[in-house]
Every structure is written in structure tokens, then in C-alpha cells.
Amino acid sequence: MSLGGNVIAAPLPSNETERLEALRRYNILDTPPEESFDRITALAARLFDVPIAIVSLVDEFRAWFKSCYGFDSREISRESTICSFAILSDYVLVIPDTRNDSRVACMPSVASEPGLRFYAGAPLIDRDGYNLGTLCILDTKPRDALSADQQRTLTDLAAIVVDELELRLAARKIAQMDAALIEVTKGVSQATGEAFFYSLVQHLTKALGVDYAFIGELIATDEDKVNTLAVCAHNQIIDNIEYSLLNTPCKQVIKQGKLCCYPQGIIAEFPDNHLLAQMEVESYIATPLLDSTGCVVGLLGVMHRKPLENMQLAESLLTIFATRATAELERKRAEEERAQLLVREQAARQQAETANRMKDEFLAMLSHELRSPLNPILGWSRILLTRKVNEATTVRAIEAIERNANLQAELIEDLLDVSRMIRGKLSLQISPVNLIPIVEAAIDTVHLAAEAKSIRLETILDPSIGAIAGDSKRLQQIVWNLVSNAIKFTPVGGKVEIRLEHSEQATEEPGNWGKTPMPNSYAQLRVIDTGKGISADFLPFVFECFRQADSTSTRSHGGLGLGLAIVRHLVELHGGIIYVDSPGEGQGATFTVKLPLIAVRKKATNSDPLAPQFVNKVITDNLPMLAGLHLLVVDDAEDVRDLLAVALESYGARVTAVASASAALEALELVHPDVLLSDIGMPNEDGYTLIRKIRAMPPEGGGQIPAIAITAYARSEDCTHTLSLGFQKHIAKPVDPAKLASAIANLVLESVAEPNASEASLTNHIGLL
């Protein structure tokens, strides 16, 4: 048979790229001979009685021989090896006479030296199914085809070759793991805290040969954000960042609480992540940091700009050091918490020391202020007892005794008022009150003191001002305190202006101490002086008990520093607010009091019948009527209960007022009210507990009663929390009676307009429209 002709090249396997990657993972090519493989080829030669046995690994352009028995060359070109045909299938390839096989007859090793005539090759198939090469036996003379048993034997020997490759790979991985573990452990062993985080990411990038390593801490206040504790990029520590978990693989780690791995193509998986694209990341692997309770507190991960070569090593290192990183993170948090506790403890100690100092100063001041009136009282009394004074002197003495006795009575009354304030026992006698006579009476009381200092009193009183619900005696106390203070701190020849006016719109005046939002219909009292003014440092403390801008023994003005604190409390009991502003020392001050007016109800009309389309209308044009409604008011402050009861009864409602959550539950069962109005901050059981208990009750027991929270907790998150627990409305104190009545009416209308509201409910409340 002629051996002339061209060599026929074997076709490439369909998975050639993946097959070559698998081959190179074993890192076996061009390594020295190893006895374990040589024993297999020698055994094969003996078993099959052939002169040549080879472990042949088919690379991209060559066949490289890991073990050669009876053959001197270590490699030949891929087109010159019969193994290039053998790797095309998973079965043993047997060629009894190569010169009779057109595929291989023209190969140099067949056509010339060594003149191979017989070939049998069993494929080397790894655990992933890739054909890496063959264990082949060869002879220089033709032979019979292998029997089925012989083919099985050759296949078994080929499997042993693959086992050796796997053992070798596993040993190499273990060695790499040990080396990497030693390197990272050695690098971080002496580090703690921030230094540990930096050291860990640096050594991870080095040990794994990756471009990036990072440690992130989940932000406690925002679980959709992570704050990095350490980031290493290209072997350099870079600045920490805060980033959102949206459209990131980190979110999977955090949400699933387990290791997340992307060996390649990470950008394709998260196309909207601009940070990954900017860093040109190709592969990603990260593991969660779990605290002692099993909660995710952060993550530890690495990224690479190429596919990760040793994913198992990366997984092992991250898993091992995640535990240590978590311990350091918990230690960091504990240190931060201790530091915060220390700051709070120091602040509390400072506050206690300040309170003690203020108490000592106040007691000294109290002793001085109480003793000062006693001196003229006792002195003049003793002079009068001598009966050696004329009539003019006697009158002068009695006037002095009366004046100082009144002064001491005022001081004692201030102390008693503060005591009542602290115990919540400062009570009001509520009735409709016209403010103009109140202001005029207070001015009459102090005009002599103003004349004594040549201070000009100017009054501008709006005669159309409406009435408020209040205690006339306490209101006069408010006005008298403010005006007398203005006179006290205004120098000779100065001016004090008193303005009383009506306004329909609250004004925003940021920066004024004590200012909070007000209803849009109120009486505004302003006391403006040209006195010594108030420093910016003292403005926040103007309305605090026992606080004075000058509490030294050389102060020029007496008093206990209680007046303004009492004024604020009285104003707030009336549902109003007080605030002060001053340009600074020597530039005067302006005190502003705002009190809600009693709304004048317009006569309701019944010209239009109740129609379904008007049930949900919010009442704004006409003031609501509450006739026929039974309201349950819950507040631990007696004065607030009284104020709300008087105000709501003026709108025609029947009011049951109780002081606690437990009393409210009893009243709910006994009187079956239509609407609940409850404070939030109450002793024993607060308003939150009350509404939870009510909403757990059956509808027939009052479980669906419309409910309004009336509270000083006025933040947006307070409102959200209140509504989430079962209140339908949240109204912040101070309360405008007109707005409160409107809110009640609208809430009732909304409740009876529900799809399951009965016809009787609509009929009962038809008067509200």
C-alpha cells in the first residue's frame, strides 16, 4: 500500500476551548516525569505486551507526553499524533494496522521512524467530562483488535491516570490554600480594629491574585446601604465609600445570608451597576458577616477584572476570615457603643453637676429673695412697736410692710405654682374670656412702676378680637408677668409696647425660641420693649425654671427666675404657645403669645338632603356641628381634659373625659362613645397601648371606634407610627378647638360613608352636614 499523500488533520472537538481550559487547570504540561504516571505506562506495556505506552495530553498545537514507556520524544505536533483522533470520542480508539487507516497512514510516525503500525488509546476524561488526552499503547507491527475485556482494562488504566491528575491537582490546591492561609494569617495576626480590616483586604488581594478586596458594614439605620470599612484596589488601600445595595450582587449576599459567586460575566448580570462597569469587574465572590445571633451585619468579598482562576481557594479564604472579620466588626461596634455611653455618661454627669450648681444658686437666691422683704417688714414692725413715730412715719411704715408682704406673697405663690406645675396640679377655671379687659387690668397694675421709671406704655388693642377659652385670673397673670418683666428690664425713659391683634394665618418665624406651629385663627399678644435685650446664648433657656441671664450676687434685678417658666406653662395649658426673639443685648426683646380663639359657629342649613356624593366632603367653608356626638377624651393632664371638654361641648358634643387608658376601656364599654380622642404620653399605659387593645376588640365592643391622637409628639415619624397602630388622625398639640371640631366631624362622616356603614349610622349623624 502506498504511503504517499498529505497528512489528514483531525477535526477539533466541539468543546475545544473549554477542554483546553480544563487541561490547563491541572498545571501538568511541561512538568518533570513522575513515578506514579511512569508505573501506569510500564504496567500497560506489560499487560498488553507492547513496546510503547504513553500518557498523551493533547494541547492546542501539540501532544505532550507526561509519561513515555519505550518512546524517546516528549512531544509531537498535534497533526502528527493519532491521539488527536482519539479525543473526538469517549471510547477506546483501536487501529490494528495504521497503514490501512487513511486518517493516520500518512503521519510521519507511521510512514517513517519509528514506523508505528498498531494503536489503541483510551480517553482521559476528567470529572467535568472533558477529554484531556489518552493512555495509548503502540506497536511497530500490526496486531489484532483488542477484545472487549482488553478495552475495559485499558479504560481502567486511563481512569487511574485521571485519578492521579486529580490527586495532583488537589495536592496543589491544598498547598496553595496552606500558603495563602499562612500568608493572610501572618499578615493580620497582630492587627486589630481598623488596622485589621486594612491588612485583611491587602493580603487577600495578594494571596488570591485579584484586583479588589473589600469589607462592608451594613448601615443600621438604612439596610439598603453599605459603608465600606476597608477597600484594596490593585494592592493599594483606597478611600471608603457608602453605596446603595440596589442593582448589586452585594444585595444577594445580604438578603440571602450566604456566599454569592460569579466566576465571570458579572457586568452582564448587573448592567445597571455603574460602579462595577467603572471598575471593569469580570468576576465577583463575597460572603456575609453573621453576628452571634445569626443576623447579617456586613460582607467580605473580592473582585477581579478577569475570570477567577481558583474559585474554591477564594471561597475557602473568605469563609475562614469572615468569622474573624465579624468578630472585629462586633468589637468595633462595642467600642463605639462604649464611647457613646461614655459621652452620654459624661454629658449626664455634666448635666447633674449643672443641676446641682443651679440648685445651689437657686437656694442662695431664694434665701436672699425671701429674706429681703422680711428686713423692712420686721424693721418697720419693731419701730411701730416703740410708739415713738408720728402719723406720717406710721403711714410710711404700714405701706412698706404691705408692699414687702405682697412681694413675699408673690414669691411664695410662684414657688407654689412651680410645685403645682411639676405635679401636674396647676388647674384652670375655663370659661369664654375677652382678652381686652384682661390686658387693660394687667396694665393698670403696673402703670405706677412704669411711671416711676418714666417708661412710656403704648397699647394697641384690636377691639374686634374674639373670645378664647381660658382662665381669666391666669391669663391676667400671663400678661402681668410679661409687662412687668419688660418694665423691670427697660431703662429709665424707655418704651414698652403692648399689642393685641387677631390673625387668620400663622406666620413662620424660624429661630424664635419656643415657636411651634399654631392654628390659623388666634389671638396674638406681643410685648415689645427697648430694654437690655437677651443674648443669643441665653435665648434657648429663657423659659426654663431657675434660669436667669445674671444669677450672680451683683445682679441688678431681683426675682427667682420662675416667672417666664410659669407663663409658658400657663400659655400651653390654654392650648397656645409663647416665644421670644431679641436682636441681642442692649437691643430690646419681643415676647409673643398666641392663643386659639373660640370659633363662632355658623347656623347649619338643611336645605340640601344628604346625598352619597357629599358624604366624603371635607368641611372647610362652614364650621362643623358636633350635636348628637358622644366623645371620649383621654388625657392624664386634668387641665387639658377640662379645656378639651369645654371647647368640644361648646360645639354641641357630649364629652366623657377620663385620665387613663384603663378608665377609657371601662368608659368605652359603659357609654359607647362615637369618637375617641386620646393623648399618647400617659403613665402606666400610653395611647399606643390603648389603641392596640381597642383594635383587638370586636366591632360590637367598640373595636372600630373612630380615633384621633392628640399629642405633643409631632414629628412625621410619630404621625406615621400613630396612624399605623390604628388611629385615623394625628393632631399635634397645641390644639385649635375649631380645627379639632372639624377633624372630628370629618372623621365621623368618613366612617359612616364606609361601604359597610349601616343606614342607621348615616341617619344618626346626618346633623353633621
Is residue 556 very low, low, confident or very high in pLDDT (cuts 50, 70, 90)?
very low
Query: What number of other Cβ atoms are within 10 A of residue 652's Cβ?
Result: 16
Nearest to 135 by CA among 47, 66, 61: 66
| Mean pLDDT, range 598-623, rounded to an integer | 41
Chain CA centroid to CA 130, Å: 52
Q: pLDDT tens digit string along 393-434?
A: 888 888 878 877 776 777 677 667 666 666 666 778 888 999
Distance of CA 287 to the CA centre of its chain: 23
pLDDT at residue 621 greater than cutoff 60: no
pLDDT at 508: 42
Question: Which of 274, 278, 221, 229 minimizes the C-alpha distance to 248?
Answer: 274
Arithmetic mean of pLDDT, 291-310: 88
Closest CA to 164 of 35, 263, 288, 273: 35
Give the range with max mean pLDDT: 266-270, 309-313, 415-419, 710-714.
266-270
Q: Quick one: which of 640, 513, 652, 536 has its CA closest to 583? A: 536
> What number is the average pLDDT over the span 199-228?
86
Report whether pLDDT(727) > 90.
yes
Mean pLDDT calculated for residue range 183-193 = 67
**Is 509's pLDDT higher than 60?**
no
758: pLDDT confidence band, cut at 50, 70 and 90?
very low
More confident residue, 228 or 365: 228
Mean pLDDT of 727-736: 84
C-alpha pair distances (Å), 723 with each of 124, 305, 437, 717, 728: 71, 50, 42, 10, 6
Query: Which tens digit of pLDDT belongs to each residue from 327-351?
Result: 888 888 888 888 888 888 888 888 8
pLDDT digits 0-9 by tens, 21-64: 999 988 899 999 999 999 999 999 999 999 999 999 999 999 99
> Minimal CA–CA distance to 637: which of 549, 569, 564, 588?
569
User: If you search the block for the grid coordinates 499524533, which residue do you land on?
Assistant: 81
CATH 3.30.565.10, the chain: domain bounds = 428-596
Per-residue pLDDT tens digits for 66-121? 999 999 889 999 988 999 999 999 999 999 999 998 898 888 888 888 889 999 99
Question: What pLDDT is stored for residue 505 in this prediction?
Answer: 53
> Which three three-digit cell numbers place residue 159?
481512569
Residue 434's DSSP bridge partners are 467
How distant is the alpha carbon of residue 323 from its chain centre?
26
Between 707 and 179, the more confident residue is 707
Backbone angles phi, psi at 199, to 5 degrees: -65, -40
pLDDT band for 122, please (50, 70, 90 cuts): very high
What's domain 612-768's superfamily in CATH?
Response regulator (3.40.50.2300)
The mean-pLDDT minimum among 5-14, 493-502, 645-654 falls in 5-14
pLDDT tens by residue, 633-678: 999 888 788 888 888 988 899 999 999 999 999 999 999 999 999 9
DSSP output for 254-321: HHH-S-EEESS-HHHH-TT-HHHHHHT--EEEEEEEE-TTS-EEEEEEEEESS--S-HHHHHHHHHHH
d(CA 429, CA 407): 25
Given the candidates 3.30.565.10, 3.40.220.10, 3.40.640.10, 3.30.70.380, the CATH classification of the domain at 428-596 is 3.30.565.10
217 has a pLDDT exceeding 80: yes
Average of per-residue pLDDT across 144-173:
91
Among 53, 72, 76, 52, CA closest to 64: 76
Average pLDDT over residues 294-300: 90
Grid coordinates in use for 636?
392624664
Write down the pLDDT at residue 472.
87
**Of 180 and 555, which is predicted with more confidence?**
180
**Amino acid 476: pLDDT:** 85
* Separation between Cα atoms, residue 153 and residue 50, nearest integer Å: 14
Average pLDDT value over all residues in the chain: 82
Q: What percent of the chain has pLDDT over 90?
A: 36
Encoded amino acid at 229, one letter: L
pLDDT of 552 higher than 80: no
Residues of the chain with CATH 3.30.450.40: 16-173, 193-340
pLDDT confidence of 474, banded at 50, 70, 90? confident
pLDDT at 170 over 60: yes
**How many residues are present in the chain?**
769
User: CATH 3.40.50.2300 spans which residues of the chain?
Assistant: 612-768
Residues 6 or more apart whose Cβ sits within 8 Å of residue 444:
none
pLDDT, average across residues 213-233:
88
Name the CATH architecture for the domain at 16-173: 2-Layer Sandwich (3.30)
CATH number given to 193-340: 3.30.450.40
Check pLDDT > 90 for residue 18.
yes
**What is the predicted pLDDT for the residue at 149?**
94
